[in-house]
Structure formats: C-alpha cells, structure tokens
Amino acid sequence: MDTETKNERYIEAVGRRKTATARVRITPGAKQSLLINDRDLETYFKTEEQRRVALDALSKGKTAGKWKITALISGGGLSSQSEALRHGIARALVAHDGELRKKLKKAGFLKRDPRSKERRKFGLKKARKSPQWSKR
C-alpha cells in the first residue's frame, strides 16, 4: 500500500510470527536506518542472531543500504518479533519490486510461519501431557 506523507513515499506491510506482529514501513532512496518502536536495531535486539534474522530479507534481496525502515512490533518474544520483522520487510520489498518475489519466496521469507503453541486441554497438565497414572 503506497501512501504519501510529508513528501515521503513509503510502503507498508505487516509481518507475523506466533503472536508477534510487526507493522513495517520502508522508505526508498533514504540512507539506511532501522527504527523499531522508536529504538535502534542494536538496542532493541540484543543478540547478533536476532539482528541477522531481522535483516535477512534485505541481504537476500541484495537491497541493503537503500531503505529507511520503521517498525512497530507488539506481542510475542524477541525471537518471534525478529522473524515477524523479517516477514514484514520481505512483504514490503515485494510490494516495491515484484522481481524480488522469486528470491524471497525460495528463501521462505514470504510465508507466515504457522507454528504456534498448542492450547492446554482440560484434564491434562499441558497440551498433550497427561497426569501420572498409577495402577494401584
């Protein structure tokens, strides 16, 4: 979805993983910066692995350094938030340039990872673990 505000044209997309949701806006032509909930990437994601996962879509599409990215992330833990951010960035890049779709789809960045925690059932300890059974 293209929108115009303050003479800046940006593309917005939503990425999700487990219960984490990332609303991502990418602005082309600006020097690279990445703000997550008004914080820098290094202060938001502490580990190198989470930062790498978040920026995988940019490196795979070979478009790093061309975007100003702002994201609002809510829900989930930090790992699922970084994967939701990757999903949102990939969707926004495809909205900007359809040629990247094949690369990003092959890498698996356009698919919303459907795995989430199974709900707990009545009479069980966890989703599938039953209480200890005793014969006598």
Cα 123 versus chain centre, distance: 35
Residue 9: CATH number of its domain: 3.30.230.10
C-alpha count within 13 angstroms, C-beta hemisphere, residue 20: 23
In the predicted structure, residue 8 carries a pLDDT above the cut 80: no
Give 34-81 pLDDT, tens digit per residue.
999 999 999 999 999 999 999 998 888 887 778 899 999 999 999 999
| Distances 115 to 103, 120, 125 between C-alpha atoms, Å | 23, 15, 21
Q: Please provide the average confidence, as pLDDT, over all residues in the chain.
A: 89
Within a domain: residue 135?
no
- Per-residue model confidence (pLDDT) at position 48: 96
Within a domain: residue 91?
yes
In the predicted structure, residue 124 carries a pLDDT above the cut 90: yes
pLDDT tier at 1, thresholds 50, 70, 90? low
Query: Which domain range does residue 90 map to?
Result: 2-107
Q: How many domains does the chain have?
A: 1
